[in-house]
Chains A and B, each alone.
Chain A
Amino acid sequence: MAGLFGSLTIATSGLTAARTGLDVTGQNIANVNTTGYVRRRMDLAEIAPNASMQAGRGVEVLQIRALRDHYLETQLAREQGGRASDETTLAGLRGVDAMIGLPGESLDVQITSFFDAFSLLASDVTSAPAREGVVRAGQALGDAFNALSTRLTDAQAVHNQSIVAAVSEFNSLATRVAQLNARIVTGGVDVEALRDERTTALAGMAELANISLIERPDGAVDVTVSSGHALVVGANAYPVTATPEPPSGFVSLHLADFDVTGKVTGGRIGALIDLRDTTIPSYQAAVDRLAYDIATQVNAVHATGVDSQGGAGGPFFTPPASVTGAAATLSVSATVAADAGMVAASGTAAAGDNQVARAIAALRESRVMSGGSATAAEAWANIAYQVGSDISAAQASLGTREQIVKQLQRLRDQQSGVSFDEEAANLIRYQRSYEASARYFTTILDTLDSLMAMVR
């Protein structure tokens, strides 16, 4: 249709486009702080003329597009998962660091005191207080090992509880992704908003575990763990179950009948599993080894001695049944604990013979621990070094990951983020467009009035 009424249609389309542009700008500004929100852009198209000598028929809003970059979002989610894993690892290791303590405030004090006590006894082998001192120092050493072992076991239990909580959160997110898949596939005007929400949910899942995403042609996203086991297929979510396993009661993770505990290697859950099943047990094993070595080495020397009653020396420490659990059970034998006279400090029945006390005191500087490669203090220092070294590695990894995440966030924001400056410019532009269209509209109306006046 040509003529002035056609011009009014052009003006109306301009007003509609400008108002829609203002709405898109407002929506972008309103969601500047919304997690997962991707900025929207209005795509306009000229309405072509349908007759010769016609300028055109105005403008139409083709679509409101979400400026989403799937590659960057997937990369960002993966790196954020890695960052969450590093953060969790670092937090767990810092907990162990606190248990280890500083030099002069850690197990090294009890180790030194223990050998000091035997050294004092060697200097005055008939001294009853010196004998009592040896027993007390042995008990203090045992208590320190017991406490450290308990703290490490408790840390494992805490991480186990965190795994259970994280799995629950993971399942909730998987369910939400499945629900969103269903609605996205159905289609509708709010698909982009649903995609935003799904992106946030998927990022949450990636922070919890290493997942793989497969985008389907219908818009749904399937989620699997790295082993290929499905967590979400279209509108269906398959929950991960956390099943307590004897004897520790620590949970294993299952997807249907498959044990996927070892497959979850990333995200917070992966880090928690690693802390619970690998990292802390390795420290526990090293502490057990040290406790076992101290007990067996001291006992071996002690057994060659003679107690204050002239009897053959028994074990000073209760003999550990095995390396595993030695730290948790290290204690002075009941016989010695009940009577310090049972400390076999002598090599013969002579009261002044201090050979065995000297030999045990000399263990302080003997490299008979850790398979003959370290003294007791060195073995302990090696454990502290290992913890510190692991923390340093985790810190470095986290630092690198932070930079990668920041860089990816910048790249994503360049594509999908809301810029106040840009939106402010758009605001003015659409406002001016609206004002111009309105002015054009009134001009046409005035023209029509002039035309009608001619008729009158």
Chain B
Amino acid sequence: MAHQAIVVIGNGMVGHKFLESLMGSGQHFDITIINEEAHLAYDRVHLSSYFETPAPDLSLGRAADYEAWGVKVAWGKASSIDRETKNVYVGDQRFAYDILVLATGSFPFVPPVPGKDLNGVFVYRTLEDLDKIRNYSQNSKTGVVIGGGLLGLEAAGALKNLGLTAHVVEFAPRLMPVQVDEAGGKMLKRKIEDMGIGVHVAKSTECIFDTDDSGNVAGLKFADGQTLETDMVVFSAGIRPRDELARASGIEVGERGGIVINDSCRTSDPSIYAIGECALHSGRIYGLVAPGYTMARVLADVLTGGEQRFEGADLSTKLKLLGVDVASFGDSFAKTPGAEEMSFIDPIKGSYKKIVLSSDGTKLLGGVLVGDTSDYGMLVAQVQANTVLTNPAELIVPSFDGARVKAALPNSAMICSCENVSKGAIVTAIRDGASDLAGIKTATKACTGCGGCAALCKDVLNAELVAMGQIVNNYVCEHFELSRQELYDIIRVRHYQNFDQVLGHHGNGEGCEVCKPAVASILASLYEEYVLKDGLEVLQDTNDRFLANMQRDGTYSVVPRMAGGEVTPEGLIAVGSVAKKYGLYTKLTGGQRVDMFGARLEQLPFIWQELIAAGFESGHAYGKALRTVKSCVGSTWCRYGVQDSTAMAVLLENRYKGLRAPHKLKSAVSGCTRECAEAQSKDFGIIATERGYNLFVCGNGGMKPRHADLFASDLDDETLIRYIDRFLMFYIRTADRLQRTSVWLEKMPGGIEYLRQVIVKDSLGICAELEADMEKHVQNYQCEWAATLENPEKMATFKHFVNSDLQDDNIVFVKDRDQHRPIYDFERLEALPMLNIANN
């Protein structure tokens, strides 16, 4: 039996999606597409990235795929449709159809402004348009985009990428008038202007003018008499449906354009369908790709006997425009009778959030977000789920407990819109045994698309586990039903020496990437043993395993210790020579030392040989251990210093170096109350006073900053060190895996007062033990790199291949500013000049 003949006019994104959906159905058709562009379908949404270097591959339709699908491509413009005989003509070529699909898209609207035909006036729609813009821009300095909508802003960004001074001119009193309200538009304008793009709103362009009848654009004149000089103009003033073929063949079109379709995407002719931007559904044309894709899927389903229908589309959008997050959803303009608006503006962070509520304030109807769209998923879910709100303000006012609102979502709420997973489906998966995000992913596919719902999924998980009455346990992992603290105590009391003993007596399975490093760290804290000892080395996290910090391409960075941030000129020269010899990228760290990047595994021993010969030792930048004790120069040089803070920092760093802990440890010593060393952001920070030192504990910078608490005042050197010894050992004994001191303290019942009782008053009677443990550490410290260089067996493991001396040819560096960096994956496709880095 002959297959049905389908002819598709147009091969844009929606036309392509239709083919893709049809191929997925498994049914066979005889398909011909008519394509007037020079390329098969490409990603028009990311058109502006075409000007980036390197330009990404935007193509969607690939000739090989089409060939494999048996799709024939006719290159050219369809000139007419003969509906009587069911034929489409491309010039004098004839294509017979059983089913005709119009996916002709739209064209950019150019308002009838005098001067629109001058040289230097463009539209922004196809790759050809972009080529023309690029060519013309080479002799231009300034470019103006007329139209401040989504595409207009993209276009302005593209002009800026081309090196032009870019401006956007919008007729409406704000940018993105369709999606964003007045206040949101104001915030958006500010953000766009901050990027160096000129924004001119409420401007009606009267004409585009040239000078001296050159025929080339020289500027714009506005209705208010003002002018804006420019070398080129890009129109992005909206789209109009390409309905001329349909119109000419007598198919019903809308009053203001667009091919009328029903819920099956069928036009007034039962053999002809229309999808995408050319189609008019319920009086509406959809200029976004998502509804177009939905139409494409619906039509593929209809043609293969399915019953899907297109019932309009939600115009909720979330996008990143020139790096600015913008979203609008639901009834964003409060058109519902009686609707109330509520907004929150944070001028410091540059964010604007507005929600639209039902007249009684109990239902969320829609909203606008600019600058921060992190709550978009949660808010859209609230709208769809029709949740009853008791305190709607909490939806937009920043709170300290984000989990609260999300837990209140009903089960019908959509959590993952990529895979259509509701909260109910996730809850079911949790009740069926999924106990972590990975389990939820496997069971429901949620969070496997864009990943944007990960935080929401975790909140649902935690809330659900608590609701199920399940104690959210603090077991280390699936192999041990013990917390880190319990593991520590067991290992200490039973004197276990290796992982197999611990696993054999208290665990199950083979262990994993969570419990192995945790046990290794405990063994290191307790016994001060060489971390690469046989049997211990395979437990260590990557960085500890090779005593360096692994970077994204598998190379390492190297950090020699510079205690207190002190380094001699000779030391600096030595570090410089090593970096130069091995071709390493160098950067100063926040902890007052030098980081050298790009060392291959096999180079590490050679690099360390030279560093150790120059008097350096391991900086433990790779370990969950003490990193640095930062300092200011204090009384030795500073006019204000009251104590020798550098000497104290050097003393402390040397005392605690190499100390393995549940997480990394940072410290600083400031020589006076001006606090130049930023000691209050450290795990333990010391600030000099006239009478001694103030000790601060449990501060943190990083992801969740916390000011350290003042623990004790005006301490003499000896007492200071005694307290820190006890404090660190108590932390090592009792903290959870990967728990910084700040969180440890926050979770500690009794808090800082309890900690003082333990450390100062010795309320648990363990201080002598804690001090002895620390003394053992200080006595047994060894530089792990010095030890490794003396061990030929270990040295042999610093090779990329066990059976060859060759190097990893996947490691490639490219020049970046005055140094180099690992190549990005997308650059590998480009013929970039590779760098030859010294690699002896």
User: Do A and B bind?
Assistant: no
